[in-house]
Amino acid sequence: MAELYVGLMSGTSLDAIDCVIVDFENGIELKAAQSFPLSKQLRQEILDLCSPGENEINRMGILDRLLGKDFALAVTTTLTRASIDASSITAIGSHGQTIRHNPNSINDPSFTLQIGDPNTIALETGIDTVADFRRKDIAAGGQGAPLVPAFHSAVFADKAPNAALLNIGGMANVSLLEPPLLGYDTGPGNVLIDSYCLKLFSRNYDDGGRIAASGKINNTLLSDLLSHPFIDKQAPKSCGREEFNDEWCSPILAKYQLEPADIICTLTEFTALSVVRGLALSGRNIEEIIVCGGGAFNQHLLARIAYHSNKRITSSEHYGVAPQWMEAIAFAWFAQRTLKKEYSNAPSVTGASKQLVLGGIYYAR
Ligand SMILES: Nc1ncnc2c1ncn2[C@@H]1O[C@H](COP(=O)(O)OP(=O)(O)O)[C@@H](O)[C@H]1O
Ligand SMILES: [Mg+2]
């Protein structure tokens, strides 16, 4: 019997809602996958909520519902195009859109917040929906992130026991599969590259890393960027737009008079080196780096990671999982874990006090 789940992901890049339909009956079979780009306006409204501002509760409440509707539409559209009936889906796993991630508050309790109302998703699709995967890990003293290492381990540990998974989304995170499982964010993935591609070249991202490849590295700027305290911080650690954003980056860039392509090149080098330094923090002997996330398509970035790490870089595609769908598939898997009442956080990764069943279930009835 097929065991169909839907996975929904919209990450820090704010590029798109990714929707997958997965059959877990025998391993992972991707039945359908589709990406729904976020409109410019929606993207800006989310971005505005990622930092403190006026009238936040009202704006968040509205966006929570709007995103819930968009997530539901992504699911129904993907189902229709794949000719799969909603009644054959066991559940949806929806990550939601992170608008704030503060896992390290010193005086106040830490928190993380994802929006995209799961009640709306459940009602409008008619499918039970699992959401809010991160907050229980935070409640148990963990970072609530990254969560995907548990999934990476479940899928890749047998096939590549000494590998590191590298997910390059808006932020970048690594999973070191050799037990005990380790995983943490290493710093920015595409977030700064994307932002300055838009400002300097009116493009949403640096396709294939071609702009970066045409520029030169400015080493002084690079060391300035690398001095961000997150880069060499010991795990457990996770980051977001709170740490790596234009307000942080622009004043640093302003100190240098650089050609636009040199800026993109140096920002790309910053991502590459923070990943490689991050991997080194583990002290592990890694045989191979398996990449996923949209950054896996930035050839120049991958070449720079290979150059600095001296490791073999493989796309997750090579192991049968398309890099751009990895995270959405992961949240389909997390939903399955929740329904089966199985643990899905990895305390060795997040620093949580114990293993937990993550997520809340929102029934369609
Ligand atoms: N062909 C490509 N060349 C370079 N970068 C790409 C390409 N395709 C996607 N990307 C990058 O991947 C990002 C989206 O990655 P994704 O894994 O969806 O991140 P997130 O989880 O943060 O949304 C885009 O914003 C872009 O920076
Ligand atoms: Mg994305």
Taking the C-alpha atoms of residue 23 and residue 284, their distance in angstroms, rounded to an integer, is 34
Residue 198 CB less than 6 A away from ligand 1: no
Taking the C-alpha atoms of residue 26 and residue 18, their distance in angstroms, rounded to an integer, is 23
Contact call for residues 146 and 343 (beta carbons, < 8 A): no
Q: Which residues pair with 360 in a beta bridge?
A: 131
Give the pTM.
0.98
Of 63, 147, 72, 64, nearest to 103 by C-alpha is 147
DSSP classification of residue 55: T
Structure tokens at 240: 């977001």
Structure tokens at 274: 């923070």
Taking the C-alpha atoms of residue 162 and residue 157, their distance in angstroms, rounded to an integer, is 8
Structure tokens at 54: 């006026």
Q: Judging by DSSP bridges, how do beta strands 16-23 and 4-9 pair with one another?
A: antiparallel
Mean pLDDT of each 10-residue bin along the chain, 365 residues long: 97 98 96 97 97 97 98 98 98 98 93 98 99 98 98 97 98 97 98 98 98 98 98 97 97 97 98 98 96 98 98 97 98 98 98 98 98
> Residue 1's pLDDT is what?
87
Q: Judging by DSSP bridges, how do beta strands 129-131 and 360-362 pair with one another?
A: antiparallel
**Residue with CA nearest ligand 1 atom 12:** 294
Cα dihedral 355, 330, 79, 26 sign: negative
Structure tokens at 42: 């929606």
Of 184, 112, 121, 179, nearest to 148 by C-alpha is 184
> Residue 118's pLDDT is what?
99
Residue 244 CB less than 6 A away from ligand 1: no
Residue 316 CB less than 6 A away from ligand 1: no
**Cα(356) to centroid of ligand 1, in Å?**
30
> Residue 67's pLDDT is what?
98
Contact call for residues 131 and 147 (beta carbons, < 8 A): no
**Cα(192) to centroid of ligand 1, in Å?**
12
Residue 293 CB less than 6 A away from ligand 1: yes
Minimum-distance ligand 1 atom for the alpha carbon of 323: 17
Minimum-distance ligand 1 atom for the alpha carbon of 293: 17
Of 185, 155, 151, 184, nearest to 170 by C-alpha is 185
Task: Please give the helix or strand (H or E) that residue 265 lies within, else none.
Answer: helix 260-281
**Residue with CA nearest ligand 1 atom 19:** 169
**Cα(293) to centroid of ligand 2, in Å?**
8
> Residue 106's pLDDT is what?
86
**Cα(15) to centroid of ligand 1, in Å?**
7
Query: What beta strand segments (E) does 220-294 contain?
Result: 288-292
Structure tokens at 271: 């991502």
Q: Is 30 helix (H, G, I), strand (E, B) or coil?
A: strand
DSSP classification of residue 348: H
Number of Cβ atoms within 10 Å of the Cβ of 361: 15
Q: Which domains does the chain have, with CATH numbers?
A: 4-145+326-362 (3.30.420.40), 148-319 (3.30.420.40)
Measure the N-to-C terminal CA separation of the chain; round to a whole number of Å: 23
Contact call for residues 239 and 231 (beta carbons, < 8 A): no
Residue 218 CB less than 6 A away from ligand 1: no
Angle between helices 260-281 and 299-309 (to 10 degrees): 40
* For the CA of 192, the nearest ligand: 1
Task: Please give the helix or strand (H or E) that residue 173 lies within, else none.
Answer: strand 171-176
Give every CB contact of residue 287 below 8 A, 6+ residues apart in sequence.
160, 162, 163, 311, 312
Contact call for residues 357 and 144 (beta carbons, < 8 A): no
Contact call for residues 196 and 267 (beta carbons, < 8 A): yes
Q: How far is CA 40 from CA 37, 45, 47, 193, 297, in A?
A: 9, 9, 10, 18, 22
